[in-house]
Amino acid sequence: MIRAILFDLDGVLVDTDTLHYQAWKELADRLGIPFTQEQGNRCRGISRMDSLEIVLEGSDRIYSQEEKEAFAQAKNTRYQQLLSALTPGHASPGAHVLLPELRRRGYRLALASGSKNAGLILERTGLGRWLDAVADGNLITRSKPDPQVFLTAAELLGVPPRQCAAVDDALAGVQAGRAAEMVTVAFGDAALHQAGDYNIQSLEEMLPLFPPLEAGR
């Protein structure tokens, strides 16, 4: 029986993928490197440094680790500037209805995101008040498809992984949920690939999947 639901952030609860792409594209332009939307899509659901390697694919230069860390920091600084304009209205459609309703139905809710900016995003959008725990990039050392972030979120909630559902829009995220032995709910792009145990295109579609829990269970 599912008792807890663990959500990815970018592309699920908040659509910040366009902001990630903008920040990476500005970095690539400064370096004179071509960077396409297809490459931007490949950056979804993976770590910042792994994303940087995708950005640098079009370069004929070999960069030092110090240079790469500086690039990643510059991108994150720009991304945080873009995040400062977020409001509750930037939450994904249905998020401000879904989360409190799931709480009312008795489910424990947590964030399971590799983002190190999750706290800022949750604060700006007002979504944090509905979450019982937050597992983000500041608590983990391995990015999806490794299951660490989902397992960390389950541990914070005190709920066994097999009693959790993992919601993610990236194939790497769905793979991570499956590796954690959780029920997987693929959203958006991952759902188009039929990657999850359940595949949805809107957050409202989750409500029939998770009926109210019986009291005391």
- Candidates 8, 17, 146, 169; catalytic one: 8
Q: Are residues 10 and 34 in the same domain?
A: no
Q: What integer best gives the mean pLDDT of the chain?
A: 94
Q: Please, what is the end-to-end C-alpha distance for the chain in angstroms?
A: 9
The range of the structural domain enclosing residue 123 comes to: 4-15+91-209
Residue 53 lies in a domain: yes
Q: Are residues 169 and 201 in the same domain?
A: yes
CA-based nearest residue to 154, from 186, 128, 123, 176: 176
Higher model confidence: residue 79 or residue 17? 79
**Among 6-10, 22-26, 84-88, 95-99, which stretch is predicted with the lowest mean pLDDT?**
84-88
Residue 214 lies in a domain: no
Q: Are residues 112 and 77 in the same domain?
A: no
Residue 199, domain CATH: 3.40.50.1000
Q: Are residues 77 and 130 in the same domain?
A: no
Q: Are residues 119 and 192 in the same domain?
A: yes
Tens of pLDDT along 107-139? Answer: 999 999 998 889 999 999 999 999 999 999 999
**pLDDT at residue 102 greater than cutoff 80:** yes
Q: How many domains does the chain have?
A: 2
Q: What is the model's pTM?
A: 0.81
Q: Are residues 103 and 154 in the same domain?
A: yes
CA-based nearest residue to 14, from 180, 138, 187, 191: 187
Residue 50 lies in a domain: yes
Q: Are residues 71 and 173 in the same domain?
A: no
Higher model confidence: residue 17 or residue 9? 9
**pLDDT at residue 42 greater than cutoff 90:** no
Q: What pLDDT score was predicted for residue 215?
A: 62
Of the residues 83, 107, 132, the one at which a domain ends: 83
Q: If pLDDT is split at 50, 70 and 90, which confidence band does 214 have? A: confident
Q: What pLDDT score was predicted for residue 18?
A: 84
Handedness of CA 151, 152, 156, 157 (dihedral sign): negative
Of the residues 35, 57, 83, the one at which a domain ends: 83
Beta bridge partners of 5: 109, 165
Q: What pLDDT score was predicted for residue 16?
A: 83
Geometric angle at alpha carbon 215, from 187 and 184, rounded to 5°: 20
**pLDDT at residue 85 greater than cutoff 90:** no
Tens of pLDDT along 52-67? Answer: 999 999 899 999 999 9
* 15 carries an active-site annotation: no
Residue 76 lies in a domain: yes
Q: Which residues contact 42 (CB under 8 A, 6 or more apart)?
A: 54
Residue 217 lies in a domain: no
Mean pLDDT value of segment 153-162:
98
Mean pLDDT value of segment 15-44:
91
* 8 carries an active-site annotation: yes
Q: Are residues 26 and 116 in the same domain?
A: no
Q: Are residues 77 and 117 in the same domain?
A: no
Two tokens, residue 100? 């409190």
